[in-house]
Amino acid sequence: MKRYLPFVIVSAVALITLAGGTMLYRTKGLPLLTISKDHVAPGTDGAGSIHIRGQPDAPVTLEEFGDFECPPCGKLSEPINQLEHDYHSRLRIIFRHFPFGSHQHAQEAAFASEAAGLQGRFWEMHDLLYREQAAWSTAADARLLFNAYAGMLGLKIDRFKKDMESDEVKRRVTSDQQQGAALGVTVTPTIFINNRALPPASLNAAGLRAAIAAAIKAKSPP
């Protein structure tokens, strides 16, 4: 019996490792990889693109003007993701940049998301920037972290770094800012539901849910 014991122990450890790893993988729920496809649509202003998450032809559109370094925007990020999940085919999300100059790394963060977008991973970087906001917003050199995030998302780092500096990326961010200014955006987050700005009091999970439900009801046939 003793002769076979090491085989039994080693086999048991292999099985436990495999089972444990699989369970852990499932509980992690692939937070960054299962999000909806980034539907990149032509921008109305000729700036290149807008980022749409969810069904492109959904009856309700939630359009956010956000700043990655703004804490209230960060707090709303997860509830918005949850709403997209809950309303699925009835809701589409659009994100537009509105980085404030007073936020030290906000503009670089916006560039990072657009540079990731050029490799098809805008929303992954968007979620990551919001989730790790506390880390990079206080870092002396946030760019090092953005490069690390790009690496974690499997982006081509050299291309990402180059794109961060590109005119294309800067133009996209500037275009969003100009569009926001034209719409009267002065604070972040500013959220429009079907082109109607939500009052600040509604900028929370419950308020957003109520506004979306009302918009869906308004769109439903009588």
**24 or 206: CB nearest other proteins:** 24
150 contacts other proteins (rule: CB under 8 A): yes
Whether residue 189 has a cis bond before it, omega within 30° of 0: yes
Figure out which of the listed residues 41, 144, 213, 218 binds other proteins, where binding follows CB under 8 A: 144
Residue 29: φ, ψ to 5°:
65, 20
120 contacts other proteins (rule: CB under 8 A): no
What 3-state class would DSSP assign to 199? Answer: coil
Strands 60-66 and 38-41: unpaired
Range in contact with other proteins (rule: CB under 8 A) among 77-85, 151-159, 167-175, 209-217? 151-159
**142 or 212: CB nearest other proteins:** 142
CB of 144 to other proteins, least distance (A): 6
Tokens standing for residue 70: 């703004």
Q: Are 110 and 138 in contact (CB under 8 A)?
A: no
The dihedral region occupied by 194, where left means phi > 0, alpha psi between -120 and 50, and beta the remainder, is: left
149 contacts other proteins (rule: CB under 8 A): yes
Residue 208: DSSP 8-state: H
Binding mask 20-59 for other proteins (x = CB under 8 A): xx--xx--xxxxxx--------------------------
1 contacts other proteins (rule: CB under 8 A): no
Q: Are 45 and 85 in contact (CB under 8 A)?
A: no
Binding site for other proteins (CB under 8 A): 2, 5-6, 9-10, 13-14, 17, 20-21, 24-25, 28-33, 124, 128, 131-132, 134-136, 139, 144-145, 147-154, 157
